[in-house]
Amino acid sequence: MDIQTNEVIGSYRILRPLGQGGMGAVFEVEHVKLGVHYALKVYTLEDDSAELFRKKFAAEGRLLARLNHPNLVRVIDLDIDEQRGILYYVMDLVLYKDGEARTLGNIELGGVDEDYLFGLFRQLSDALGYIHGQGIVHRDIKLDNILLAPDARVFLSDFGISRVVSDRLRGEIGVTCTKVTPSGSGSVVGTHGYMAPEVMRGEPATAASDVYSLGVAFFKLLTGIWYNEDLEPKEPGASAGPVDAVRLLADFERPWKDVLPEMLRADPSKRPTDLSELVRRLEVAPHQQKSPAASTRRRHVLAVVLAAVFAVAALVALTVYLLTSNRQLPPTQQQGNDDDLTRDAFALPESVK
Amino acid sequence: MSAFPDTPVSLLARIAAARTGASEASWTRFFELYQPVIVKFAAFSGAGREAEDVAQDVFVKLVEVFRRSAYDPAHGTFRAYLATMIRHEVVNRWHRAAVRAADRHVSIDNDEHPVELSAPSETAAILDARWRLARRQAAIEHVLTKTALSEKSKAIYRAYVLEERPIEEVAAKFGVTNNTVSQTKTRIARMIAAHEELLGE
């Protein structure tokens, strides 16, 4: 595929290359009439599987076009240029503050803290939850597929190997991407290192597989090292693993040490699928967490308050009891005791009168 | 023997597979993890500005070792084996370079001026100490630059531990209690220890 600057494809003038994905090249383009800039992704039709690829491409475009979420790249247009032997689709252009297309995989994030990462986690969990709700599995969640915008927003991109798992959608779109890979050869699709164990074994990817991949991505972002099976946490009660991933996560202020090991469980049926619940668990802001000293102080205050409440309750109970008892007393005793008890009960000490 | 964990055979398998180009990602990750400690160890062992070149040579050697499946789990943990091999390879590489350098200046027939090879004659204890130091420095650097701990926590650790400032001064500078400074030190020390463990004995 040889596409030059200023070349016009459909209604779009090529301005510059933005990157090379696993399944095609991406360019910044300008709509020749509207002057609006977009990203244009191109696939070549030059191999034997062109027809299958063409179907896959159309499916991907249709799939993307129906999605609408603030953290998903929106598809604008889709077409085939038979003369050039290319397929292309046009998407919203997402550029970082340096004017380049940056992903979490190709930017130096050293120095970002977990609050920032939590913001990313919230957005991506929301986006992933949305596409799962639409019956779609992304199948290639990785840092290189997460685009950064200047306002700390992130966009999940590259649904090139997405799989439609909903029967209803499968029928509407007309073809699934299950057996289509960049090489057109196998059914194991994804990126090494991010792929869930079941996908590595050749089993179909599910929403739980995406959850695993998202866990891998955030393990790397938090700890600076790649997660792999020799770090895999053991199930509770099992003997300690080689290097417990929890140890690497234990000292962050948010409870990543609880959430990520669940996302990274080897058994997909044991992974959480409700990502919004994970966000809620991580949501506890560090300053809201209780330090041991603060907890001790709080316990003391609580004890004082409880003691005061108990004292008042006891006083009220005693008063009620005595008043009730008085009604049962003979009139001669009742009068005298009432006065004395009332006076005594509500009498202020001499020192404060 | 090592108190550090075994690395599963699957990691070795993946790395060996990479010899044929099948698992580039595994190799990349392996290099990312071990390069800093190998470079530091090579530097401590006298490689100076060539430390990064030494690290590359070590990796080439490692690939070959993996390709030949030279590691036998019966002989100990993989991480201990790996660390030992790295040390040997760095020293051997240094040795070879020293011989080459000496050959340029001293005739091989000149028995009166034998080549001085200090590195191989050094005791294992010195090498171990260098390795531990390299490992500790690599781990500290990693935790302070590659993890998502807050910048404030990292700055507190730098001031209190690396710069050895008094706890009261650090607490005042960052507007926290002495207890917070102490807790921050403990937290980061635990992360450093965990990362050291990854790098092997």
Residue A338: closest CA among A353, A324, A317, A352: A324
> pLDDT, tens digit, for every residue of A294-350?
444 555 555 555 566 656 666 666 555 555 554 443 333 333 333 333 223 333 333
Closest Cβ–Cβ partner in B23, B26, B198 for A225:
B198
Judged against a pLDDT cut of 90, whether residue A34 lies above it is answered with yes
Token pair for residue A304? Answer: 């004082």
Residue B142 located in a structural domain? no
User: Residue A200 is encoded by which pair of tokens?
Assistant: 């590595």
Question: What is the mean predicted confidence (pLDDT) over A18-31?
Answer: 82
Average the pLDDT over A82-98 and give the result.
Answer: 86
Residue-wise pLDDT tens digits, A164-173: 554 444 444 4
Q: How far apart are CA A215 and CA A245, in angstroms?
A: 12
Same domain membership, residue B177 and residue B99: no
How far apart (Å, rounded) are the C-alpha atoms in residues A6 and A15? 6
**The dihedral of CA B166, B168, B174, B179: what is its sign?**
positive
Last residue of a domain, one of B86, B108, B134: B134
pLDDT of residue B173: 96
Better pLDDT: B39 or B55: B39
pLDDT of res. A183: 34
Are residues B191 and A251, on separate chains, in Cβ contact within 8 Å? yes
DSSP symbol at B44:
I
Structural contact between residues A234 and A241, judged by C-beta atoms closer than 8 angstroms: yes
pLDDT band at B59 (very low <50, low <70, confident <90, very high): confident
Is B190 domain-assigned? yes
Chain A interface, best mutation among B146, B178, B179, by max A CB count within 10 A: B146
For B128, the token pair is: 């171990």
Distance CA A177, CA A179 (A): 6
Instruction: Give the pLDDT confidence of A237-256 residue by residue, as tens digits.
Output: 333 334 567 888 888 989 99
pLDDT for residue A339? 34
d(CA A260, CA A282): 10
Backbone angles phi, psi at A306, to 5 degrees: -60, -40
**Is A120 a residue whose pLDDT tops 90?**
yes
Residue tagged active-site, from A2, A113, A140, A144: A140
For residue A44, is pLDDT > 60?
yes
**A8-288 CATH choice from 1.10.510.10, 1.20.120.1770, 2.60.40.420, 3.30.930.10:** 1.10.510.10
Question: Which contacts qualify for B182-188: CB closer than 8 Å, 24 or more apart?
Answer: B183/A291, B184/B153, B184/B156, B184/B157, B184/B160, B185/B156, B185/B157, B185/B160, B185/B161, B187/A251, B187/B149, B187/B153, B188/A251, B188/B143, B188/B144, B188/B149, B188/B153, B188/B154, B188/B157, B188/B161
Same domain, B126 and B163: no
Where exactly are the structural domains of chain A? 8-288, 293-352
Length of chain B: 201
* Cross-strand bridge partners of residue A147: A103, A155
- Alpha-carbon distances of A1 from A25, A43, A44, A324, rounded to whole Å: 9, 8, 6, 97
CATH of the domain at B49: 1.10.1740.10
Could you tell me which residue, B80 or A41, shows the higher pLDDT? A41
The dihedral built from the CA positions of residue A24, A26, A30 and A31, taken in this order, carries a sign that is positive
- Chain B residue numbers with beta carbons less than 8 Å from the beta carbon of A242 are 5-8
Contacts of B188 in chain A (CB under 8 A): 251
The secondary structure of residue B76, as a DSSP letter, is: S
Whether residue A105 contacts residue A120, with contact meaning beta carbons closer than 8 Å, is answered with: no
Nearest alpha carbon to residue A197 among A179, A184, A176, A211 = A211
The tokens of A265 are what?
A: 């469980």
Residues B125 and B151 reside in one and the same domain: no
Q: What is the mean pLDDT of residues A9-24?
A: 84
Question: Could you tell me if B86 and B47 lie in one domain?
Answer: yes
Taking the C-alpha atoms of residue B132 and residue B128, their distance in angstroms, rounded to an integer, is 6
Confirm whether A140 is a catalytic residue: yes
Tell me which residue in B25, B150, B190 faces A250 most closely, judged by beta carbons.
Answer: B190
**B139 inside domain:** no
The reply to whether B13 and B40 lie within a common domain is: yes
A290 pLDDT higher than 50: no
Share of chain B above pLDDT 90, in %: 28
CATH code: domain of residue B197: 1.10.10
Has residue A52 got a pLDDT over 80?
no
Among B80, B107, B134, residue at a domain's last position: B134
Neighbours of A269 (CB within 10 A): 9
Q: In the predicted model, what is the mean pLDDT of chain A?
A: 73
Domain match, B129 and B152 both? no
Instruction: For B165-189, write each residue's pLDDT tens digit.
Output: 999 999 999 999 999 999 999 999 9
Same domain for B178 and B157? yes
- The rounded distance, in Å, linking the Cα atoms of A80 and A89 is 9
Percentage of chain A exceeding pLDDT 90: 30
More confident residue, A187 or A307: A307
Better pLDDT: A213 or A25:
A213
Beta strands in A45-125, from DSSP E residues, in sequence order: 75-81, 86-92
* C-alpha distance from B126 to closest chain A C-alpha (Å): 27
Contact partners, residue A100, CB within 8 Å, separation at least 6: A18
Indicate whether B141 belongs to any domain.
no
Task: Give residue B16's domain range.
Answer: 1-134
Q: Name beta bridge partners: A42.
A: A25, A88
* Residue B26 shares a structural domain with residue B124: yes
Q: Which amino acid is at B139?
A: A
pLDDT category of residue A352 using cuts at 50, 70 and 90: very low
Alpha carbon distance B136, B193 (integer Å): 8
- Over residues A54-81, the pLDDT tens digits come to 676 677 677 778 889 999 988 888 888 8
How many domains in chain B?
A: 2
**pLDDT (0 to 100) of residue A12:** 96
Helices (H) and strands (E) in chain A, counts: 10, 10
Provide the shortest C-alpha distance from residue B187 to chain A (in Å). Answer: 5
Cα–Cα distance, A150 to A101 (Å, whole number) = 11
**Domain endpoint, select from B109, B134, B159:** B134
Mean of the per-residue pLDDT values of chain B: 73
